[in-house]
Amino acid sequence: MGRWVTRLAGTAAGAANGLFGGGGGMVLLPVLSRWGHLPPRRLYATCVAVIFPVCAVSAVVYLVRGGVSLETAVPYLAGGLAGGFVGGKLYGKVRVRYLRWLFAAFLLYAGGRYLL
């Protein structure tokens, strides 16, 4: 994958994350699957590894600009950490086929909720 493609994809993922408070992985996953030449499991793990620092940067910007209520965010953070741990443990145990379907179902659900 060319350097310009990786930078453009990273920029798009960061912009999606910053604008929508998440979603950078939805940008990176198709790009990495098309041009990253990674096996499916490594593809998902790489996506998570890239999105973590992108989310951290967005969170700092939101905090500095006063866009985050820590009282509201902390309970979700605790659940998110637990879910991330469980998901990481299940990582090698769930078939890639099911991961794809789960990801697609999540995108459809989230998109539908966003529109309504």
pLDDT in tens, 47-80: 888 888 888 888 888 888 888 888 888 888 889 9
Cα separation, 60 vs 43, in Å, equals 26
Helices (H), 1-116: 3-20, 24-35, 40-64, 70-90, 96-115
Length of the chain: 116
Does this model's pTM top 0.75? Answer: no
Copy the structure tokens of residue 6.
């990786």
**pLDDT at 1 exceeding the cut of 70:** no
**Would you state the pLDDT for residue 86?**
93
pLDDT in tens, 8-51: 888 888 888 888 877 788 788 888 888 878 888 888 888 888 88
Which residue bears the tokens 């179902």? 105
pLDDT in tens, 84-98: 899 889 888 889 899
